[in-house]
Amino acid sequence: MKFIFTFIIFSLLLLLPDSIVQAKEVQGISITPPFQELVILEKDNQVPFSIEFRNQTDTNKTLRFSVIDFGSLDESGGVAFLGNAGEAIEKKYGLASWIILEKDNMELDPGGKQILKVTVENRESLSPGGHYGAIMVYVGKEEEASLVSFTQVISSLVFVKKTGGEKYGMNLAEKSYIKNKLFFPRQVNLRFQNTGNVHLVPRGVVTVTDWIGRTIGKGIINQETGRILPESFRIYPVVLEMIGSPILPGMYNVDIDYRYSEKKNFDRATFSFFYPGFLGFGIVVLLIILFVVIILRLLRIRRK
C-alpha cells in the first residue's frame, strides 16, 4: 500500500513580525494575508473576512479548502494543526466549527487572482476568549493527490478574540541566560506563561547593569510580536545589545521589565550572575604569566 504524506508548508507565523508578514507562497500560489486577527463583539452575529489567492504560474491551478483548529506545537512558537483527536485544552480554544467558507474549491487561471469569502459565526456555543483556526489550502485536484507521495498545502491562520468574558494573565515562569566562561552573556531566555483565555503579545525590556550601576547591555522583549496562546508556555530569546564594557569583576544584575500589550503597567523580575570582567581576566592572565616566569627561574637556579 502506498503511503501518502502531506507536506505542510507554512511559516511559523507566531514568530514573524506583523509588519513583515504580508503574503506567503507555495507552488506558485500566493495567499494574502497569511493570518487574520479578528475581534467579535457580543452583539455581532457574524464577522466576515476574505483571503486573496494569486496564481503566479503559467498553468491552471485547482485549490481545495478545508478548516482545522490549531494550537501550540511547542514552546518555541510553532503551530500544530489539530485533527479530530486534538488535545482537550486545544479543542477548548478551537474555531473550525464556527468558520463558514463561501466555497470548497476554486480554479485559478494563469496569472489570475480570486477572493475567498469567509465568515466566523458568533453562535452561543462560541465561548468568550480566544479561538484559533486555519484555512488549509490544498494545491491540486483531489484525484491528483492520490497519485503523488506528498501534497503541498498552504494555510491562513485565524486568531479570534470574543469579548464579554476575556481573562488576561501572564507570568514570567523562568528566566535564564546563555552561560559562557570567557565571554559576557549576550542572550537572556524568558519563559512566559499565559494564564488567561486569550492570546497575548509580551512586551518589555531587559537591562543588565554592573555593581556600580553602569548599564552594560539592553535588549527588547519580543521584537517579532510573537503571540502566546491561552494556557500555554512560550520561550522568548532576548538578544542583548552591548552598551558598555563589562570591565569590573563582580555581580551583574539583570532587570526584566515586562507586560502584555493590553496591560499598561510593567512588572519587574531580577536575577544576578557573576562575571570576572575584563579586569578579572587581565589579573588571571598576569598571574599565569607570573607563575610561568617563577617556574622558569626556579628551573634555571636548579640547573646551576
Cα 81 from Cα 137, distance rounded (Å):
13
Q: Quick one: average pLDDT of 178-191? A: 88
Q: What are the pLDDT digits (tens) for 259-296?
A: 999 999 999 999 999 988 666 556 667 777 777 777 77
pLDDT score, position 21:
40
pTM beyond 0.85: the answer is: no
Residue closest to 119 by CA, chosen among 106, 133, 139: 133
Q: What are the pLDDT digits (tens) for 209-233?
A: 999 999 999 999 999 999 999 999 9
Cα 149 from Cα 104, distance rounded (Å):
23
Q: What are the pLDDT digits (tens) for 93-118?
A: 999 999 999 999 999 999 999 999 99
Residue 26 has pLDDT above 90, yes or no: no
pLDDT score, position 235:
96
Answer yes or no: are the C-beta atoms of 13 and 157 closer than 8 Å: yes
Cell of 141: 485536484
pLDDT score, position 6:
38
Domains of the chain: 5-162 (2.60.40.10), 170-283 (2.60.40.10)
Q: Quick one: average pLDDT of 66-77? A: 84
Cα 157 from Cα 98, distance rounded (Å):
14
Cα 232 from Cα 220, distance rounded (Å):
22
Cα 220 from Cα 211, distance rounded (Å):
22
